Structure 1
Amino acid sequence: MTVRSALEVATTTDSGMVRSFNEDAIATELDLGLALVADGMGGYKAGDVASGMAASIVLEELKRRLQTNDPDFPALILHDATEKANQAIYQAAQANPQYHGMGTTLVTTLFHDNHIHFTHVGDARLYRLRHGKLTALTQDHSILHEQVVQGLISSDDAKTSHNRNLVTRALGVEPEVEYETQKQTVETGDLYLLCSDGLNDMVDDADIELALTALQANLPLTARQLVMMANDNGGHDNISVVLIKILAPFPAIEPSKGLMDRLFGWLK
């Protein structure tokens, strides 16, 4: 089974109840097994530019590089695509005064050979619902998360902290960026959620778990429900949601064959 036929995907993005424009960007490409969410920052238009650049550069880099069936290639191209996006955003910010200080968080997933490979920078998140239990697969690169880990603030107090949106890492802010890449085995029935912090800042994980469990038979409805819950709780930020359900096992992506490869194949 191909990756495309093994995945069901639903996406939605919303500006929220407070902001007049949307600086988030989402992208999915089922033929590549790719999905991503980017949450831009840097003021009017600049954040939108940064998140849009991240989405387009990562997508194009993956398309260009999917010419090999090396088992290590997903991690390698995620690394290269993230680096390339960071450099491009940083250079654009340096060259254009109106974009100075722009950057973006990013979470990218690549489904390949019954595994999920994912990279994240900042506080865009990846969750997995498996057998009714929601698990956060990423840890925020934020001041607030560091304070919780160090015991300086409780998890309950963190929910109302004014430091929720202060990230410690983002694409495009510095010439080099530190990020994390992981690989995990997927199971049929898994449901993955990529989201910007406009969702999880407004909706507790327990309520996200409840919505996913109750509504997952209809992914578009589930995505809309999550956005509505965030807006009902204040909608203080842009909200982006990508849902990916594993319908069946899937093989490695086959490399495209050139004309000579096909010709020799016919002659065998």
Structure 2
Amino acid sequence: MKFVAQTDIGKRRRYNEDCYLIDDRVGLFVVADGMGGHNAGDIASQLAIDVFREWAESFPKIAPSIHGKATIVNIIDQLVVDANTRIHTESKIHPTRHGMGTTLIAGICQDNLISYAHVGDSRIYLIRQGCITQITIDHSQVQEMVDSGIITAEEARVHQNRHIINRAVGLHQTVIVDTNQFEILTDDILLVCTDGLHDMIASDQEIAELIISASDLESAGKTLTETALAYGGSDNITLILIHIA
């Protein structure tokens, strides 16, 4: 398994409020896209990442107590809840940070299985045998409109409200976390990214083609970032690529 990560401030933002974490010792990947609270979005995303980093650092001590697929999902779910508590508490202590929050995608690769937790509109994609599948479902206003048949998925991609999310980590005292698992095969590629990537590139198929045509994983990440910038780069851009060997 190989991990590659890239982040870019983009062309229009003063700060990079995205954060990411990869830890191949435990197969952990995390992407967070912060928002709100007088430029405190970067604080929110970093606080979320810190929760997972602290857990990963303690992993050698707690590994013997982890057994079974359900346990891994429960661990990730609880870590997101812990991140929510940490961010929300921080926003109450510091009034200038009121309203800060972050999207969050966190997953663990173990035994040919991805266990993940998801809040917001950052995404996991699976590229398998030339086909791309969006694994996560956005917690966003436009996704609700798509689900209701008001607009199409293509229209959602350019809708003026596409950046409005209806769930975020840290925004409220509690958070609803989506968790799930899916199997992975040799030569699968996972893309974990913020909306600064997937909202800028014209289609999911173009994303897949850019990855597949690249000479290696590092080149794929660089090409994806450069393409998002070429399309306007209106937001911070963060991605993690994972190749299953």
- TM bin, normalised by shorter chain, reads over 0.9
- Alpha-carbon distance in structure 1 between the residues aligned to 2:120 and 2:165: 6
Aligned to 2:172, the other structure's residue is in SS state: coil
Aligned pair count reads: 240
Corresponding residue for residue 33 of structure 2: 39
Q: Tell me the amino acid that sits aligned with residue 67 of structure 2.
A: D
Once structures 1 and 2 are overlaid, which stretch shifts more, 63-72 or 189-198?
Answer: 63-72
Which residue is 2:10 aligned to?
Answer: 16
- Per the alignment, residue 44 of structure 2 pairs with 50
C-alpha displacement at 1:43, in angstroms?
A: 4.7
What is the alpha-carbon distance in structure 1 between the residues aligned to residue 27 and residue 153 of structure 2?
A: 34
Task: State the Cα distance separating 1:13 from its structure 2 match.
Answer: 0.1
TM-score, normalised to structure 2, is: 0.95
* Segments ≥4 residues shifted beyond 6 Å: none
Q: In structure 2, give the amino acid aligned to 1:81.
A: L
Give yes or no for the alignment of 1:208 onto 2:204.
no
- Greater gyration radius: 1
Uncovered stretches (5+) of structure 1, i.e. residues with no partner: 1-6, 248-268
1:70 aligns with 2:67: yes
Q: Separation in 1 of the partners of 2:194 and 2:241?
A: 12
Is contact 1:130-1:190 (8 Å) kept? yes
Q: 1:189 aligns with which of 187, 190, 200?
A: 187
**Structure 1: how far apart are the matches of 2:44 and 2:64?**
27
Q: Percent of counterpart pairs with the same letter?
A: 35
The worse-fitting range, judged by mean Cα deviation, of 35-44 and 92-101 is: 35-44
- The CA deviation string for residues 198-256 of structure 1, in whole angstroms up to 9 with x for no partner, is 001101211101111111x4111110110100000000100001000001xxxxxxxxx
In structure 2, runs of 5+ residues without a counterpart are none
Q: Tell me if the contact between 2:76 and 2:117 (Cα under 8 Å) persists in the aligned partners.
A: yes
Instruction: Give how far 1:61 is off.
Output: 2.4
Q: What are the superposed Cα offsets for residues 76-124 of structure 1, whole Å, 9 maximum, x if unpaired?
A: 2101111100001001011101110000000011011221101110000
Equivalent position amino acid for 2:35 in 1 = M
**Within-5 A mapping of 1:67-216:** 67-71=64-68, 72-203=70-201, 204-215=203-214
In 1, distance between residues paired with 2:184 and 2:66? 19
* 2:24 is aligned with 1:30: yes
The answer to whether the aligner puts 1:234 opposite 2:228 as a matched pair is no
